[in-house]
Amino acid sequence: MTVSVVYLTSVAGSPGVTTASVGLALSWPRPVMLVEADISKPSGILPGYLRGQMDHSRGLTPLSVQHQRGQLTPRAVWEQSVQLGEDRFLVPGFSNIVAAAGAGASFWNTLGSTLSAIAAQGADVLIDGGRFGIRDDRTALMQLADMVALVAHPVMPDIATVRARRRDLSETLAHVGHDDWLGLLLVDAHDEAFRDGEVSKAVQLPVLGRLANDPRTAAVFSVGAEPTPKTKKSALTRDLTLLPNVLEQAIRERRNKLGAIPFEEVNA
């Protein structure tokens, strides 16, 4: 069993990072914690997948306060989580973007180390990073992940943007020895769709997986639409079911090659 931290993010358009993160968490074969670390907006999962049935009293805003008090621990993170299902937990994002903007690199560094400790205790961690910007304070959080999945559509505008950002993202990870921790998660679109090999060659990154263009099933994860009998048999559900094994295999192969390295804080 490979217990790990996977960071999902994007640099182009709106490829559906949150939808993919929720779908992946619900398809995960082991206990998993999903952390909503998007700083561009308040939690989208509470009013989306959970349809506003829970208030926004828990999440990263209280954790940022606990960080200022030196009390950001694995237990504190668990106490700020809500259940998505059996053995599936969510730490909601910030309650407002002002709090998100003021969190600072120190908070993300400490949170990353804390999430690594949670993973070491037996629960995988998925991080919904939303869009990753230039000089982003969450750099340390991304550096501490075991895998960074860059979500994009296999269309020309996304490919061009990923290609423009690939070098700085790779250098960010290479700074901590994670040169090959970065890969693509492609989400099919209505428009033109280039093949995996074409996209990989254009941006010089491996394709970790591909999710079908399936708006009806995606709506279950994004806005809490009611599942139908066809949901379990849909192409998107199939892809999400297979993806955890693909990610785990890639992480396991790398660990076997390099040897497991204990987590440690990374200076921002």
Average pLDDT of the residues in 235-257 = 92
**239, 210 Cβ separation under 8 angstroms:** yes
- CA–CA distance, 115 with 50 (Å, rounded to integer): 23
* Arithmetic mean of pLDDT, 230-250: 95
Average pLDDT over residues 241-265: 77
Q: Give kind and range of the element (H or E) at residue 209.
A: strand 207-211
CA distance 38 to 42: 8
In this predicted structure, what is the pLDDT of residue 192? 74
Q: pLDDT band for 267, please (50, 70, 90 cuts).
A: very low
- Which of helix, strand or coil describes residue 202? helix
Angle (CA) 147-148-150 rounded to 5° is 145
pLDDT of residue 190: 80
If one compares 257 and 86, the residue with the highest pLDDT of the two is 86
pLDDT in tens, 61-77: 999 999 999 999 999 99
Work out the average pLDDT over 47-71.
95
Name, in order, each residue with C-beta under 8 angstroms of 15's C-beta and a sequence gap of 6 or more: 151, 152, 153, 158, 187
Q: Which of 256, 24, 5, 244 shows the shortest CA–CA distance to 142?
A: 5
- Angle (CA) 208-194-128 rounded to 5° is 40
Amino acid at 12: A
Residue, of 179 and 100, whose pLDDT is higher: 100
pLDDT for residue 59: 97
- Conformational region of residue 87, where left means phi above 0, alpha means psi within -120 to 50, and beta covers everything else: left
pLDDT at site 2 = 61
Q: Residues with Cβ < 8 Å from 125, sequence gap 6 or more?
A: 4, 5, 6, 32, 33, 34, 35, 115, 116, 118, 119
Least confident of 84-98, 112-126, 189-203, 223-237: 189-203
Nearest to 106 by CA among 75, 154, 66: 66
pLDDT band, very low/low/confident/very high, at 113 (cuts 50, 70, 90): very high
How would residue 255 be classed by pLDDT, with cut points 50, 70 and 90? confident
Whole-number Cα distances in Å, 226 to 55, 216, 217, 231, 238: 21, 10, 9, 9, 18
The pTM for the full model equals 0.93
